[in-house]
Amino acid sequence: MEHVIELKNVTKTFKDFSIKDIDLQVKQGFVTGFIGANGAGKSTVLKIMMNLLKPDAGEVKVFGHDYKTHEKAIKDRIGFVYDANVFFEGLNLKDIKRIVAPAYKRWDDTSFYQYVDQFELPLNKAIKTFSKGMQMKASLAIALSHHAELIVMDEPTAGLDPIFRRELLDLLQELMIDGNRTIFFSTHITTDLDRIADYIAFIRRGKLVFNKSVHDIAESYALVKGRNELLDRDTERAFVHTHRASTGFEALTDNIEVVNDIFGDMVVIEQASLEDIMYYLKEGTHDV
């Protein structure tokens, strides 16, 4: 099985927003980061992947199976982490463990208590008294304690302090040593992705712009800087988006060869960060 998650032509329409015709395949054994501006549709896609939301049209397959026939078997193999209150607020972590553990075939108590210890979580305090970061850690401890092959997370590092954030990324990297595991997570913190992501999926206004390896992204995109006089209607076509300032222009290209042909050494070409790519593609003039 090459792809653990496959979305085909997935569409979901809300009153003021829609997910349009999403085709997305998540590769097994890799970490894929899911990025996009606020309101681009990341949580909606994650919920569709988790069968918490039904698409209006299209196909969703996880581990090659359909939720209609294999919901329990699929969920057994996924650890899902998100920041909304998944748990009954009045309960403590011990109670929650008692409720959740029997639902999983491969629940591992030792692992659970190890994470509780490592994340310094109190077992007997009501979840509603937990800080946002502690709630995320609790959600993680549960998700990681049943040997999930697929870990799906909605902004797992949001609300975490920088030290724990780094520890979490290290932990996720350790989990990936088992070559069968797959991680798919959304984030706004692109430096997290620089640390651990193999693939990046980028969504803009409900449409998937790309799903590429970090290597391909580094090869495809570049930031170009030069004097404004170099720009005209023709030369500007080499760019996805151009930003002019009084001191000169800065632009994103997805075709470095063409930029080299047109401008030669009259421009400076630099590697584009994920943040640059997100910023320029947000306003981009054409799809890629």
Ligand X SMILES: Nc1ncnc2c1ncn2[C@@H]1O[C@H](COP(=O)(O)OP(=O)(O)OP(=O)(O)O)[C@@H](O)[C@H]1O
Per CB under 6 A, residues contacting ligand X are 14-15, 17, 36, 38-44
Segment (H or E) for 113? helix 109-118
Residue 161 near residue 189, CB atoms below 8 Å: no
What's the closest the beta carbon of residue 199 comes to ligand X, in angstroms?
A: 18
What's the closest the beta carbon of residue 44 comes to ligand X, in angstroms?
A: 3
**Residue 84 or 177 with smaller CB distance to ligand X:** 84
**Residue 39 or 64 with smaller CB distance to ligand X:** 39
Q: Is 86 exposed, middle or buried (0-12, 13-18, 19+ CB in 10 A)?
A: middle
Size of the chain, expressed as the number of residues it contains: 288
Spell out where 155-287 has E strands: 182-186, 199-204, 207-213, 222-226, 241-245, 248-253, 268-271
User: CA 53 from chain center: how many Å?
Assistant: 18
**Residue 41 or 79 with smaller CB distance to ligand X:** 41
**Residue 20 or 147 with smaller CB distance to ligand X:** 20
What tokens does 114 get?
């190890």
Among residues 224, 212, 274, the alpha carbon closest in space to that of 250 is found at 224
What's the closest the beta carbon of residue 20 comes to ligand X, in angstroms?
A: 12
- Bridge partner list, 59: 8
What's the closest the beta carbon of residue 71 comes to ligand X, in angstroms?
A: 21
What's the closest the beta carbon of residue 48 comes to ligand X, in angstroms?
A: 10
What's the closest the beta carbon of residue 88 comes to ligand X, in angstroms?
A: 22
**Residue 21 or 108 with smaller CB distance to ligand X:** 21
**Residue 126 or 158 with smaller CB distance to ligand X:** 158
Among residues 170, 202, 164, 196, the alpha carbon closest in space to that of 183 is found at 196
Among residues 104, 60, 81, 198, the alpha carbon closest in space to that of 151 is found at 81
